[in-house]
Chains A and B, each alone.
Chain A
Amino acid sequence: MARAAVATRGTSSKLTRVLGLLALAGIVTTFALGLSLPRTVEQHEYSRLIAIHPALAEVAYLALGVVSLASLLYLVRRTRSRLWDLLAGASAEIAAVFLALTLVTGSIWGRPTWGVWWAWDARLTLTAILLAVDLGYLALRRVPAEIEARSVRSAVLGVILPALIIVDHFAVDWWRSLHQDSSLEDAKDNLGTPFLVAMFVGFAAFTLLYAWLLVHRFRLEQLEERLEDEGLAVALAERQAEATTDRPRPPVRPELAEGARP
């Protein structure tokens, strides 16, 4: 029953403060750059989304990658530790948020090109499938069951993820290529340097944001686990005391105690 060293006053620390400030600075810069980008003819304002949409997608995939890696480390006996399980769970939650944001920004971005809110673009469809898979993973983690049972099941699912992503990617890609629809990718092709700069700054900023969120969420989970661990010593003592306290006490029969009744 190893205990992780955790800050006892909330989940902040020097690390998170530094990360947080950098992330904040990065995001502010990203938005500034994004808003300062010139409009393109086809897409008007929306092309500025290049600053954040690809970054959101990148972070989502990064988060899923962390889930897979942590799940693998948990399953391998030599490196098995509660930490990996908690990390996977924390990262999966953040992945869900970023996947959803990717879908929303992608949909907004696609509207001027397609005229509708959703047109089954290959990338976005893949993102949608992954979001569904991620939600399933999170549902699995919340099911009432023994901790170890839940952790192993989630970990197995987590390890399958990369293979799923690859297969799904090809399936969806080939599917859409049959129809030669324009995709968001095409929309990004003919943009100049300022756009690319904004995109990369966006990558960096949101990755920092992810790291900050991950550390906080992970520590929160650790604190919860620690709370439960400390209950074990109490439970052991109570259990042993059962021998004397929890016995049924048969009722005393009054007619025996007070003599026979007429």
Chain B
Amino acid sequence: MPGPPGSVVGVSMAAALRFRSAVALLGRFPALAGVDLDVAAGEIVLLQGPNGAGKTSLLRACAGLLPVVDGVAEVLGHDLRLDRRSVRRSVGLLGHATFLYDDLSVIDNIRFAVKASGAGDGRLAEAMAVLGLDGRLRGVPVSRLSAGQRRRVALAVIVARAPELWLLDEPHAGLDTDSRDVLDAVVRDAAASGATIVLASHEHERATALAGRTVTIAGGRIVDDTKPVAVVAPSDPAVAAPPEEAPAAPAAVADVARSEVVHVA
């Protein structure tokens, strides 16, 4: 039951992402053309859609990399239209690029990234162990790793930093089966500790098994959502909070099977 207006109703009701008619431009091209989306803290959301729909752009906008020029865009309480930079320390982006320095070794890269973000060294060793990077690969320069191995290093950086919001862009791509299992485990652990995960993926089976909710984007807008009633802060009069319920697995699977059919709002 929602509390009186303005009161905090508990951490699980806090909005991690809140977008209303958000427009983001790449030059003159509107990569996001009016996105409406609400994601609560601790959710795992699958973002799907055709190529060029705006999945990567939405993830980058959440990371504060893509400027939002119109509408409302709030991530972890930071208003992206006022200040894109402050949210970055709390966000981890696993993108197509790995953000690693070729000449440095695996451990040097991870250590640099962790220190740069201000996170402590605490989870470093554990992250590397989980991703199989603490053995022979530890001191190898990144330029000598395969693409999949580099992905694992980039993932290790995020695990070691443990940000509040994880943005994963095609995370399974290029990883072998074992690594994919590790990725899934790591994502579930992170969500269990309260992090919010948004992943964009074309890997339907794995991703829908992981995610509690599927959001479809096309033409720069959200066109479908398996949990369309938004979870918002109680002060927003527009929407009432939904009752707590288990992730709707059957509906999500049915949606994915029908993914060729796009509902235009």
Contact = CB atoms under 8 A, between A and B. Distances in A.
Interface stretch (A43-51, A175-183, A243-251): A243-251
Interface in B17-44: 23, 25-30, 33-34
A42 interface: no
Interface of B: 23, 25-30, 33-34, 50, 52-53, 67, 69, 218-221, 223, 262, 264
Contacts of B218: 242-243
B30 A244 contact: no
A8 to B, nearest CB: 21
A252 interface: no
A77 to B, nearest CB: 11
Interface stretch (A32-40, A52-60, A97-105, A231-239): A231-239
Contacts of B264: 243-244
B52 A243 contact: no
A76 B168 CA distance: 35
Contacts of A247: 50, 262
A244 B262 contact: yes
Contacts of B262: 243-244, 247
Given A241-B219, A243-B264, A246-B50, 4 more contacts: A147-B28, A236-B23, A240-B34, A243-B53
Nearest to B51: A248
Nearest to A145: B27
Interface residues of A, number: 18
Q: Which 3 A-B pairs have the closest CB atoms?
A: A243-B219, A243-B218, A242-B219
A258 interface: no
Contacts of B27: 146-147
A255 interface: no
Which of A240, A243, A247: most chain B Cβ within 10 A?
Answer: A243
B29 to A, nearest CB: 6
A240 B69 CA distance: 17
A117 B28 CA distance: 49
Nearest to A250: B260
Contacts of B52: 242, 246
B208 to A, nearest CB: 21
Given A243-B221, A244-B262, A246-B52, A236 B28 contact: no
A240 B34 CA distance: 9
Contact of B28 (A235, A246, A248): A235
A228 interface: yes
